[in-house]
Amino acid sequence: MFDTIGLEEPQLGINEYLDAIYNARSLIMKLKDEDGIDLLLFCVRAGRLSATVQNNYRLFYEWLCEKKVPIVIVITGLESEANMEGWWIEHKGSFDRLNIVVDGHVCITAINLGGNYERLYEESRALVRNIVQQYTRGRPRDGYKGGEGWFKRFMRLLRELFIGNPDIKKKDIVTVLTKRCGMPMEAALELAKQVREDFRQRRSA
């Protein structure tokens, strides 16, 4: 199981952009040594939906996995609800309006404070285990590992979230790709050039 950290802001600044490059590169290298991705568990705390939730959905499901991996949403923070499942029935329309489409869902609490919370916590554990089994049983042995040119496509798509420093320097991208990601200098220079071209075209459009 890979535990990833999502974007904490609706748009990326320069530091977040470079970190995202590094984290994406690290993930794809790990997947080459493992069995790939079989299922995405998209964990969202109950509350008002934001652009951040939508961006994380796009980042991991649409861009990283190219919609080729089942995705299940896990709604947390429902320990005070009389009917946890009722939360999804009431709020599903909000996800639909943000074009967040999932294969399944569970509504849970992730805390155990004793008493009635202990019962809800144990029920929640069972719900998560069951839905993981439901969407992974019978899938091919090797999960999704990304296709040819995956990282380059991801870099090009990632710029859609970038509105921070419009003068991001090519050398900043090259430094991350070579020193932090271990990419050969020639490949890093070419990729950084393409990203800069994308930014310029976006600003002039």
Q: Where are the domains of the chain?
A: 8-34+145-205, 37-136
To the nearest 10°, the Cα dihedral for 7, 13, 19, 25? Answer: 80
Task: Provide the pLDDT for residue 133.
Answer: 94
Q: 65: which residues sit within 8 A by CB, 6+ positions away?
A: 37, 40, 71, 144
Q: What is the pTM of this model?
A: 0.69
Low-confidence stretches of the chain (pLDDT beneath 70): 5-22, 24-25, 28-29, 31-32, 141, 146-170, 176-177, 180-184, 187, 191, 194-196, 198-205
Task: Provide the pLDDT for residue 163.
Answer: 43
**DSSP character string of 189-201:** HHHHHHHHHHHHH
Task: Provide the pLDDT for residue 132.
Answer: 95
